Structure 1
Amino acid sequence: MPLSWLLERFAEHRDQDAVVWQDRATKYGELLDLVERANEFLAAEHVLPGQCVMLDADFSPGSIALLLAVMQNRNIIVPVARQVTADRDKYAQLAEVSHRLSVDENDQYTRTADAATEVTHPLLVELKESGSPGLVLFSSGSTGEPKAAVHNLDFLLNKFKMPRHSQRMITFLLFDHIGGFNTMMYTLSNHGCVITVTSRDAATICRAVEQHRAEVLPTSPTFLNLLLVSGEHEKHDLSSLKIINYATEVMPPATLRRLNDAFPGVTFRQSYGMTELGIMRTQSRSNDSVWIRVGGEDYQTRIVDGILHIKAKSSMLGYLNAPSPFDDEGWFNTQDEVEVDGEWLRFKGRKSEIINVGGEKVYPAEVETVLMEDSNVADATVTKEPHAIMGNIVVAELTLHEEEPLSDVIKRVRQHCFTKLPSYKIPVKIRLSDATSRMSERFKKQRTKSE
């Protein structure tokens, strides 16, 4: 069975907390019973090995058990987080879904649709014939139509067989996100505790950390900045936190410095991963540094023209709706531009986010870092607007700690930018906005209207 090793670990730790949901702890012994109930549900619904199954849910004991049962049944899983406003019909058609299952707010299973579709796409047929469970994850679509990445779960799950630290983790990243999947599998495979949340606002996250003594918070720089702005971290006892992992976008150094001041004694770790590759092991140069080493036993890295390329054993098989992005030797172009200092890397930004101003490159994250050095700037989002002569101009939206006239903000911020940036990188337009107005449903900073 694909997950026999994992279920054996559950049995060895029957009396330990496995999942906290709605403030109640489910033990590993109970989770084993829920997996059996999920197996019975799949049998009653005539879900056969090799079929594609869409699972619409958020993290809960029932949804985790059903996800594990579907893996055990050697199905190809298409998770969709309940909060995500995706076109589920389109996803189901593209992934050739046979059964659409959901887990409701009472943690009960329902079948929402049954198309009885046979898989025909070569990647899906390959998975079915191999007898391996599969996973289809959709990208966020920030640079166009979402791409459907197909994983062989035997490859993706292999790294979790090595025992590591047992930790109590918050499930911040979503149910259908590679980071959310990684958080769940790491925690369960090391008999830790998955702490679920009803929503992902700052107050709810802080309450969950305090009440359930969470040790690890995997999240995004955008959320962490909102947490600082909200002040919720000062209203709760967060002393149980040992590690904050951040990923999905560039961390502004100014935000990281503020976080170190707000959370003394907490280790900050910059993670790195992609839907196409899985989550890599990383090491930060120091607690307040944005320089990291990336790699691990299953990964190779190289830099080509300033762009990070990766070869991974856990790489996806390919896309359902796009050509293979791998070269003949299996290297994947991440499109992430990096600065190199020996074995250390600093991420400058995604190639697709670069703003071209009169033929010069502008990295939004670099400008945001300078803007956030102002003591009254709580958050900054840099975007672009078309310009007849320059091609584009740089535009900045700022969130302030304290109200003040926009004219004063513009004068002070621009003067500071002139001391740190060449003129073409300095925002031509500066506006004020709410920090949440530029946050996507996946808690990343939105730089374009299409995200």
Structure 2
Amino acid sequence: MDWLTERFAGAPERTAFVHEGRSVGYGEVVATVDELTDRLARAGVAAGDTVVVAGDYSPEVFCLILALARLRCVVVPLTRSSVVEESVALGVSGCDWYVSAGDDGQIAAIDHRGQSSDNALLTEFRARRSPGLVLFSSGSSGAPKGMLHDLERVAEKFRRQRTAVVAIPFLMLDHFGGINTLLAITASLGTVVTVADRSVSSICAAIARHRVQLLPATPSFLTLLMASNAHREHDLSSLTRITYGTEVMPQTTLDRVRAAFPGVVLQQTYGLSEVGVLRSESRPDGSLWMRIGGEGFRTRVVDEVLWIKSDYAMVGYLNAPSEFDADGWFNTHDEVEVDGEWFRVLGRVTDLINVGGQKVYPAEVEGVVLDVDNVSDVAVHGERHALLGQIVVATVVLDRPEPVADVKKRVRQACAAQLAAFKVPVKVVLTDGPLHSSRQKKIRRA
């Protein structure tokens, strides 16, 4: 990854980060990477060591990851709101060294842990003498999976320099999308605007203050943004592009965002931690259809499910069998519709609700319920039923209090008018929320 710091060195005066009110140039980034490389080496950190990095976005944490890559270490990023317990993560990956960042983002301590892991895949990977990256799934459909990536291969996708932008890295450091965004921005010599508080109001305030051009977000966040009306309370005119992914976007939310940001390009993205983030293009008709692929990626559909073959795929799971077939194709478990070269993601197979043999896609129902008066957010899931197998349940967050019977009546009427009868929620449950995880992704469960 030396090409990346060489690129930084060629533009020392450009602003790389705006963090806690201070601007950090690319020249300072290079100097900090050099300094941290020396500090780590003096502490005894060596090639092949597994190093846990505990911290949030800051220039110093980014420089630490680059320094560890230079030393050919295996990096395990964790944050305060990581979706996996630290003890669980370390039990899977091991931990030779634990490096923590303080609240100010500065590197506070480099502690030797010596917690070994007898993982065969890690042992084999260390023989490559390549820098590694371990990320964990949320464990929403079972135990969290540790995914080992070759960090050099992950970064290689960004060697070709693109247009520089000012952007907020919305997803966290322990998420592939967060690492992907961070590398994409810096590899193009753009500016990373860090936001410690990822609430709607804080994100909007940061966009207005720093004239942010690109907002990568999730559909859940954009649903909250539209419900809060924060986009009317802040000057977001600097935005030129909003990207959204990691889950299915309700058409209702997409329509609202288009209306609120008429001059902004809305781009649906697609990727998985196992295979990387594909290049994408949204169909210009305001729909949820997109074209995906790009150099290094191939796609195919088998029995309505999307499969991907990627040059940037992970090395493998540390604690689970491989889900790649013998030819290197990965089953995404996302059901899709195909229209020529365009795809529309209907939902994850594990989220599908089976009502008497009929498929119900939660996002389709959620899109209708979001249009119901007084509903600010909704999550739809299936509940076991003795006769039908499952029934549809809608968990709803309201703008203002009202009896559940009144809400249920309006929800059922709206769904009955637009959906088949088996898709209409049998139960409507009220909650104060939130209906999303720390990764701003919809939580669909009882």
TM-score grouping bracket, smaller chain normalisation: over 0.9
- Superimposed CA distance per residue, residues 275-328 of structure 1 (whole angstroms, 9 cap, x where no aligned partner): 101111000002622100110010000000000000000001110100011101
Aligned twin of 1:92 = 90
Q: Which whole-Å deviations, capped at 9, do the CAs of 1:63-87 have from their partners, x for residues lacking one?
A: 0110111111111111112322632
Unaligned segments of structure 1, at least 5 residues: none
Cα distance between partner residues in 2 of 1:219 and 1:45: 38
Q: Structure 2 counterpart of 1:93, which letter? A: G
1:334 aligns with 2:358: no
Alignment correspondent of 1:227: 225
Residues 1:71 and 2:69 are matched in the alignment: yes
1:132 aligns with one of 130, 133, 155:
130
**TM-score where L is the length of structure 2:** 0.96
Q: Residue 41 of structure 2 aligns to a residue in which SS? A: helix
**Offset, 1:11:** 1.1
Alignment correspondent of 1:358 = 356
CA distance in 2, matches of 1:119, 1:201: 37
In structure 2, C-alpha distance between the alignment counterparts of 1:186 and 1:197, rounded to whole Å: 18
CA contact under 8 A between 1:19 and 1:61: conserved in structure 2? yes
User: Kindly tell me: are residues 399 and 89 of structure 1, through their superposed partners in 2, closer, same or farther at Cα, counting changes over 3 Å?
Assistant: closer
- Is the counterpart of residue 344 in structure 1 residue 342 in structure 2? yes
Give the Cα–Cα distance (whole angstroms) in 2 for the partners of residues 419 and 231 of structure 1.
Answer: 28
Name the CA distance, whole Å, in 2 between partners of 1:155 and 1:278: 10
In the alignment, residue 305 of structure 1 is paired with which amino acid?
Answer: D
**Stretch moving more, 187-196 or 409-418:** 409-418
| Change over 3 Å in CA distance of 1:287–1:153 after alignment to 2 | farther
Output the CA distance in 2 between the equivalents of 1:142 and 1:299. Answer: 26
CA drift of 1:402 comes to 5.0
Shift of 1:145: 0.6
User: How far is the alpha carbon of 1:108 from its aligned partner?
Assistant: 2.7
Distance 1:421 1:334 in 2: 27
Matching of residue 444 in structure 1 with residue 441 in structure 2: yes
Q: Give how far 1:415 is off.
A: 1.9
* Alignment check: 8 A CA contact 1:372 1:379 kept: yes
Q: CA deviation at 1:112?
A: 6.6
State the AA in 2 paired with 1:220: T
**Separation (CA, whole Å) in 2 of partners of 1:379 and 1:252:** 11
Q: Which amino acid aligns with 1:445?
A: K
Q: CA deviation at 1:410?
A: 2.2
Q: How is 1:50-449 mapped onto 2 (pairs within 5 angstroms)?
A: 50-84=48-82, 86-111=84-109, 113-117=111-115, 120-286=118-284, 288-401=286-399, 403-434=401-432, 436-448=433-445
| Structure 1 residues 182-224: Cα deviation after superposition (integer angstroms, max 9, x where no partner) | 1110111110001100110011101110111111011100011
Question: Partners in 1 of 2:366 and 2:177 — Cα distance?
Answer: 25
Q: Can you give the 5+ residue segments of structure 2 that lack an aligned partner in the other structure?
A: none
Tell me, yes or no, if the aligned pair for 2:223 and 2:253 is still in contact at 8 Å: yes
**Residue 414 of structure 1: SS of its match in structure 2?**
helix
Cα separation, 1, equivalents of 2:105 and 2:413: 55
| 1:265 to partner: Cα distance | 0.5
* Deviation at residue 404 of structure 1 after TM alignment: 4.6
1:153, distance to aligned residue in structure 2 (A): 1.8
Q: Structure 2 counterpart of 1:103, which letter?
A: A
Is the CA contact 1:267–1:287 (under 8 Å) kept in the aligned structure 2? no
User: Per-residue deviation at 1:412?
Assistant: 2.6
From the superposition, tell whether residues 190 and 8 of structure 1 become closer, same or farther in structure 2 (CA, over 3 Å): same
Instruction: After TM superposition, give the deviation of residue 23 of structure 1 in Å.
Output: 1.8
SS at match of 1:34: helix
Secondary structure of 1:259's counterpart equals helix
Check conservation: 2:84, 2:144, Cα contact below 8 A.
Answer: no
Change (3 A) 1:203 1:53: same
**SS of residue matched to 1:130:** coil
Distance in 1 (alpha carbons) for counterparts of 2:294 and 2:124: 28
